[in-house]
Each structure stands twice: as C-alpha cells, then as structure tokens.
Chain A
Amino acid sequence: MATTNVPPQLDKLPPELKEKIQELRKLYAEGSEVGQRALDKLLGQLAAPRTDKPVAEITTAGRTGLRQGKVSELTVIAPFAPGGAKRLRALLKLLGANFGDAGEKVGTVHDMRFVFFDNDTRMLFATAYDGDWDPYIDDFVAKIPAELDLVFSTTENFPGLNTPGIKDWIAKFQITAEAWYVANPDLTVAETKRLERVGKALDEFLDKIG
C-alpha cells in the first residue's frame, strides 16, 4: 500500500536528500508491508545528517572493484568446468582453514571465501585485499603460478595463468560490489601485524614497570 503523503520531518531536508528518500519510499511502496513499516520507523534516522567520523572515500580499485582507503574488494563469479566443483572442494578440504598458507604467502589478503552455488555449477570467490592487484598480477604469475592454476583450472575454459591476456580473462568474471564496508580502511594486513607486535611489546613493557 503506497504512502504518498510526505511526512513533515522530510520538509526541512536538503532537496537532494529529500529526493533520494522519496524515491526510496516509492520503491518500498511497491514491496511488502514489512519493508514499508520498517522504512517508516527508520525514516528519521535515514534522513538525519551524518555526524560520525568521515569514512575513507570510496574509489575504484584498478579497473574493477571498489577501494576504501587502502583496502580493495574483489568478487569473481565463474562457471565451473565439468567436475570442477568436486576437485576444488577436495582441494580446499585438504588445505584446511588457512588455504595452505596462501594468505600468508601473498601478504596483502585480509580474507578469502569460496561459495559454490547453482548446484555446483558456479562459484563465487570474494576477497578483501590491500592496494590494487593489477600491478602485482605479473608477480603472482612468476611466484605462485602452479597454486593459482590448481584453483582456477576448476573453472570453465581457464587458459592457464601463464597466458597472454590473462588479466583480461580474470577481469571478465569480476563484478564490482554495489556497496561495501571496511571497518579500518587505513590498516593494511602488514600494518595490522606491525600494530599487533607493537601492542605486545608495549604490554610487556608495561608489565615490567607496572
């Protein structure tokens, strides 16, 4: 049921925000009542001006993906080769929670996840990492080609990492996130580890003098 009358609290809003909220109400009016009621409840909050600390600006990470501060997101959705899901599942089981030491090796990866869907015919790979991957793809090709081939050969028609134009092949399956939140956009993996060490050393020091 559409609520077309404008609530009084919206009147004082800057026109741009007002327009966005009205658009949102229109769209939710086409949805379920649950959504509409929730929106009405939160309207005041959504319309309130942001007073919290400025978040790092969202930019693009190389040619695809978003970047916030020093952290970037990468999402790949690719079809499996026949039997590919089975192979990758077995490989991931063998490697365990750390994916072998893949993250440790690369050094800039905050997290990685593999999701199999559509009855094991497609996979989603998502990761948050530091900086851009474009400048480092040649390093990956040179340093861990077998590791990457082992994983990505389970996808359909994967030509092999050591193929001219492989960057374009990967980029083809990359999808930019619609929205993305990073708690610590200025902390790289390396910086986090350094702070961990510094924190420990400081605690030891305080223990000694305390």
Chain B
Amino acid sequence: MSTLDERGDERGSTSSPVLELDEIQATVLRYRPEPYYGTHVLMRVDDAQTGREFLRRLTPHINSAAGWWNAVDAWLAVGISYAGLKALGLPEESLQSFPEAFRAGMAARAEQLRDVGVNASSNWDFPFGTGQVHIGVTAFSDTAAKWRRTVAVAREQAIGFSGVTIIHMQDFGAQPGSLNPFGYKDGIGQPAIAGSGVAPLPGQGQPIKAGEFILGYPGEADLPYPTPQPDVLGRNGTYVGFRKYQSRVGTFNRFLQENASTHEERELLAAKLVGRWRSGAPLTLAPHADDPSLGEDPQRNNDFNYSTDAQGRQVPFGCHMRRMNPRDSQLAQLTDVNLHRIIRRSTTYGAPYDPNALSEEDDEVPRGVFFLFISAKAMATLEFLQGEWINDGNFAGVGDERDPMVGLQPDGATFSIPQAPVRRRIHGIETFNVLRGGEYLFMPSLSALRWIAELS
C-alpha cells in the first residue's frame, strides 16, 4: 500500500496516513461497476444472539477494500442502524458513543434534513422510518450471473435464523446504458481520497484527507472525527446515509416539453438542470452540443473547473452538478468545499427512463434511485447539503432557488439559466425526485463486524 498523494500537502500536515485497506469495506472506495447489477436487502434482528451469529457467518463474505480498484468478483457490503446496534446487544457505553443524529435516525432528523411536505417520513415506503431496519446488506456486481450467486450467498446466511427477518429486498441496476431514471449517465465526479492507493482522475482535484470519509484518520482540519468506542468498533468504519427516491419521470418530461420546443432545446434544458448532457459530458467542455465520447471517458469527463465560467453561462450556478461540487466557484459564503463532499454510490431501480412518459400515472411507476452517501460525518454532511446546497440558493447567489434534480420545490419555484443578454428564468419547476425512505447506517470495519459478532 502506498499513498499516491505525490503533490504533497498544501495544508501543512506532515504526512498522509496510509489507509488500512484490508479493514475498510470495499464499497467505501470501490466505484460502482459499469454495467452494474445488485440488490439491497434490509433485515430486522429479533434476537440479539441469532443476530450476532448471522453477522459472524456473513462477515467472511464482506469484501475489504484491499485492491479495491481491481474488482474480480461481486462484492457485499453491510451497514447497521442504531436500532440494529441496540438489537444486537451493543454495550450501552458503545451505543452512547455514536453521534446524536445517528442515534436519532434519519426520520427523526426531518427538520434538519428539510425532509418535509411530500418528502416527510409519513409518506415513506415500508420499512423506512419504522425503526425496523436493523441491518442493510448490498450486493454489487458487474455481471448478472455473479450478482445472482452473491445474493444467494447473502440469503443463505440469513436462512435458518428465526431471529433475523428479511423485511425488504430491492434489485437495482441492469439499466440500459447504466443510465439513471431520467436518462442520464450518473456517478461521475467522486471525491479523491488521500492515501487510498490510486491516483486521482483528472479534475478530481487535490485528494481530500481520508478522515473526512473513514473514521480514525485525520480529516481536513488535521483532526479525526469522534469515533465510536471502543476503538476496534469505530476505527476504519464510516457512516452511510441511505435514501430512496421515486423519480417522477412524467413531471420531468412535461417540464422539458413545456419549456423547450425542439428536441435539441429540450436536451439543452435537460443539460442545464444537471450541468451535464445525458451522456455525462459536462457543459463546461461541451457547451453547445452533446459529446458522447467525452461523456464516457473518465479521463476527460470531469477534467474542468469554473475559472472560465464565472458568469454561469455554461454551467448554471443553480444546477445540480455545480451545487454538489462548486469547485473553484466564487461562493457568497465562506466555505471550504472539501468539507462538504461525500462519496455517492447511486443505484437505479425499477423501470428504465421512458422519454415518452408524460402522465401523472407515469410518476408513480416504480422507478428511482437508492443513494448511499458515505462519509465519516455523513449525518452532518447530509444535513448541510440538504439545508444549504440543495434546498437553498443563497450560497450560490441564486436566492431561494433549489437544486432542480433533488431539491424539494415549493409552489411557484423557479430555475434561472444565466445567458446573454439576459438570464432566462423558468417558473413552476416541480419536485422531480420525491423521497420515499431513508436510514442512517454505520458501516463497520471487518474487525468491528467480528467484534460485534463475538459480543456476549
């Protein structure tokens, strides 16, 4: 293992610690494959002892991040909610060492997360927000065959355990072209993590200190974030914000139809909402027309900053991509952009994007995204993102406007597109992705999983 942070550290730390990759779960560092296939399995622990026995049997099948850039087989990841840690019989002292927001759970943090109105937990699908989601297991694979084999392994571990109940299973992926429910290539633009062993992709920027994403290492302020105790439980673990969105494809298509008159104009408007064409090509590098070969090239599709787009005429200030990573944009508020980055593993489920869907019924065709937001302070980061960067516009100088893709739009919401001679402001943008569930999970290290399994 070596750190490839060869440019050295401008922030004055002496050295980047090398990560203990064989302790960290693979999913933290490993990008979603392409194409991808997978399943989320949610479980309830009814009996502490059987629950721990289940974990003991599952742990050897959980992949570590050692050689994470070289996935040869499908891999499993496991996360445990606070209710789950309780159900597994963790000592009170350990339980109390978890952050307050994690202990409260995502549904209880609705106010801080701005999960209100249609996104309120009273509208969520079962089993989210009920306190019954204890363990989440996710299988990722690049082929259908390997995926089926791996899911079978996960199921076998749960079979015969009367104390562990599978309460929800959701397949994802297998989308034509690996596109998201609105027909875009997604998952581009992940933060680079210092010490993780692989050179950053062009445009990923200075690697961010590992402590922002993995517990037990120094973060950007050179301090580690508070770690659950004992050390073996917390170290090399991280948190996952797990969120289920229903994509309202009919509403989205209608928005494009009503605000653009030709196919080309609609595609440009779709690109302005995200900051990228559906192919993934960024507007900064392809301002006038889509460039699919640019979109699919990871060496080029993220290699830009906003130094030549200070007016937002290519990438609007309020679009999804510029909000989620403002890069070198001049922000209205003193901000360290690196503190608010998060690892995203988005997994699309349900029917593929249908460009002809226009009705309200189409909005409710099961289709959407399960997001895994991974960070050593995922709760604080999600609350920051939801409150400041998604459901507000002040930081970007766009007033009350919200993120067009994942924001919760109030009545009469607008979306502004800077252009010469005068900006275009579109009225009546609606909520395109509706929240249908969410949980905070702790993603323990492999040693921590064994430690939990061996509790008595």
Contacts and interface: CB of A to CB of B under 8 A. Distances in A.
Contact of B334 (A70, A106, A162, A194): A106
Contact of A136 (B220, B226, B335): B335
Contact of A108 (B226, B332, B383): B332
Contact of A190 (B226, B380, B397): B397
A135 B383 contact: yes
B167 interface: no
A138 interface: yes
A131 B339 contact: no
Contacts of A136: 333-335
A9 to B, nearest CB: 42
Given A106-B333, A131-B388, A188 B394 contact: yes
- Which of A141, A142, A164 has most B Cβ within 10 Å? A142
B339 A191 contact: no
A32 B101 CA distance: 51
Nearest to A190: B332
A143 B221 CA distance: 10
Interface string A106-142: 1110000000000000000000001110011011111
Overall SS of chain B's interface: loop
B332 A141 contact: no
A122 to B, nearest CB: 28
Contact of A194 (B226, B380, B397): B397
A139 B384 CA distance: 11
Interface string B214-242: 00000011110010000000000000000
In this complex, the interface size class of chain A, counting residues with CB under 8 Å from chain B, is 20 to 34
Interface in B387-435: 387-388, 392, 394-395, 397, 399
A92 to B, nearest CB: 20
Interface string A48-81: 0000000000000000000000100000000000
A21 interface: no
B336 interface: yes
B118 interface: no
B331 interface: yes
A208 interface: no
A13 interface: no
A190 B394 contact: yes
Contacts of B399: 191, 194
Contacts of B335: 136, 139, 143
Contacts of B384: 135
Contacts of A191: 394, 399
B36 to A, nearest CB: 33
Nearest to B332: A190
A139 B397 CA distance: 18
B101 to A, nearest CB: 12
Nearest to A106: B334
- Which of B222, B226, B334, B383 has most A Cβ within 10 Å? B334
A189 interface: yes
Interface string B323-355: 000000001111110110000000000000000
A37 B417 CA distance: 59
Given A107-B331, A138-B221, A191-B399, A131 B336 contact: no
A150 interface: no
A106 B394 CA distance: 13
B114 to A, nearest CB: 12
B388 A143 contact: no
A138 B332 CA distance: 17
A189 B332 contact: yes
A105 interface: yes
A144 interface: yes
A188 B388 CA distance: 13
A107 B226 contact: no
Given A70-B394, A194-B397, A142 B332 contact: no
Interface in A159-180: 162, 164
Nearest to A70: B394
B332 A135 contact: no
B333 A142 contact: no
B333 A108 contact: yes
Nearest to B333: A107
Given A107-B331, A108-B332, A141-B221, A130 B394 contact: yes
Contacts of A130: 333, 394
A70 B394 CA distance: 10
Given A139-B339, A191-B399, A162 B221 contact: yes
A195 to B, nearest CB: 10
Contacts of B336: 138-139, 142-143
A138 B394 contact: no
Considering the complex of A and B, which 9 residue pairs feature the smallest CB-CB distances, nearest first? Answer: A190-B332, A142-B336, A107-B333, A106-B334, A139-B336, A135-B384, A108-B333, A188-B394, A107-B332
Given A106-B334, A162-B223, 12 more contacts: A106-B333, A107-B333, A130-B333, A131-B392, A135-B387, A138-B339, A140-B334, A142-B221, A142-B336, A142-B338, A142-B339, A164-B223
25 contacts: A105-B334, A106-B334, A107-B331, A107-B332, A108-B334, A108-B394, A130-B333, A130-B394, A132-B387, A135-B383, A135-B384, A138-B221, A139-B335, A139-B339, A140-B334, A142-B339, A143-B336, A144-B334, A162-B221, A162-B223, A164-B226, A188-B332, A190-B332, A190-B333, A191-B399
